[in-house]
Amino acid sequence: NASYSERFWADDLFKSSDGYIKPFMQFPISELSAIAVTGGAELSNIQNYTGDSTIMLDEAARERQIGATAGLAYTFDTRRNGLDEPTYAYVKVTGDVGGLGADNEYVKGTFIGNITSNALNDQVTLRATVEGGAIASIGDGPGTRITDRFKMSPNQVMGFATLGMGPRDLAATDEDALGGNMYTAARLEADFPIGLPEEYGITGGVFAHAGSVWGLDNPGTVDDAFYLRASAGAALNWDTPLGPLRFYYAVPVVKESYDEERRFGVSISTGF
Q: Average per-residue pLDDT in the chain? A: 93
What local confidence, expressed as pLDDT, does residue 92 receive?
Answer: 98
In the chain, what is the greatest distance between 2 CA atoms, to the nearest angstrom? Answer: 61
Would you place residue 13 in the very low, low, confident or very high pLDDT band (cuts 50, 70, 90)? confident
pLDDT at residue 1 in the model? 83
Domains of the chain: 2-268 (2.40.160.50)
| pLDDT at residue 81 in the model | 78
Residue-wise pLDDT for 65-76, tens only, equals: 999 999 999 999
Q: 165 - beta bridge partners?
A: none
Residue 181 has pLDDT above 90, yes or no: yes
Per the document, the length of the chain is: 272
* pLDDT at residue 141 in the model: 85
pLDDT at 33 over 90: yes
- Rounded Cα distance between 167 and 18, Å, is 22
CA–CA distance, 259 with 75 (Å, rounded to integer): 34
Q: Long-range pairs for 82-89 at CB < 8 Å and ≥24 separation?
A: 86/117, 86/118, 86/119, 86/122, 87/115, 87/116, 87/117, 87/118, 88/115, 88/116, 88/272, 89/113, 89/114, 89/115, 89/116
Residue with the bigger pLDDT between 91 and 11: it is 91
Query: Residue 62: in which H helix or E strand, if any?
Result: none
pLDDT greater than 90 at residue 98: yes
What average pLDDT does the segment 42-57 reach?
93
Is residue 90 pLDDT above 80, yes or no?
yes
Would the pTM of this model clear 0.85, i.e. be above it?
Answer: yes
Q: How far apart are CA 104 and CA 63, in angstroms?
A: 11
Mean pLDDT of 182-204: 95
Least confident of 75-89, 122-136, 181-195: 75-89
Rounded to an integer, the average pLDDT of 190-214 is 95
Confidence check: pLDDT of 104 > 90:
no
